[in-house]
């Protein structure tokens, strides 16, 4: 099943994407093969992911998350069932002001 995920980039920005294998996709991002946005903002780490039933649902969720303001994305990181590891606050710094 596909995943919707958010990465925290080195500059504190959040990147949202979809993948069939979230762990493999993270490794691609970390190696600079995940896309131009994350390539320029490494290192990245996965801070949120959620498994969905279909690829269509993943694309719809990605689109909806990308439209959210940063404050709502940060709130989404706090929802049960989606967190990956713990945040050191680097993605929060400067995003709430």
pTM for the whole structure: 0.86
Higher-confidence residue of 17 and 93: namely 17
Structure tokens at 60: 């719809």
CATH of the domain at 10: 3.40.1440.10
* 22-49 exposure pattern, b = at least 16 Cβ within 10 A, e = fewer: beebbeebbeeebeeebeebbebbbbbb
Residue 63: give the domain boundaries: 3-77
- Assigned domain for 97 exists: no
- Assigned domain for 49 exists: yes
Confidence of residue 27 (pLDDT cuts 50, 70, 90): very high
- Based on the structure, what is the number of domains in the chain? 1
Please write the tens of the pLDDT for every residue from 52-84.
999 999 999 999 999 999 999 999 988 877 767
| Percentage with pLDDT > 90 across the chain | 76
- Assigned domain for 7 exists: yes
Range 32-38 contact pairs with CB under 8 angstroms and sequence separation of 24 or more = 37/9, 38/7, 38/9
- Assigned domain for 91 exists: no
Amino acid 20: pLDDT:
97
């Amino acid at each position: 099943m596909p995943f919707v995920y958010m990465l925290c980039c080195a500059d504190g920005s959040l990147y949202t994407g979809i993948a069939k294998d979230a762990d493999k996709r993270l490794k691609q991002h970390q190696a600079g093969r995940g896309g131009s946005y994350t390539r320029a903002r490494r290192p990245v780490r996965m801070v949120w992911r959620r498994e969905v039933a279909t690829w269509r649902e993943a694309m719809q969720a990605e689109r909806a998350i990308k439209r959210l303001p940063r404050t709502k994305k940060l709130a989404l990181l706090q929802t049960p069932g989606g967190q990956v590891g713990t945040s050191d606050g680097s993605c929060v710094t400067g995003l709430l002001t």
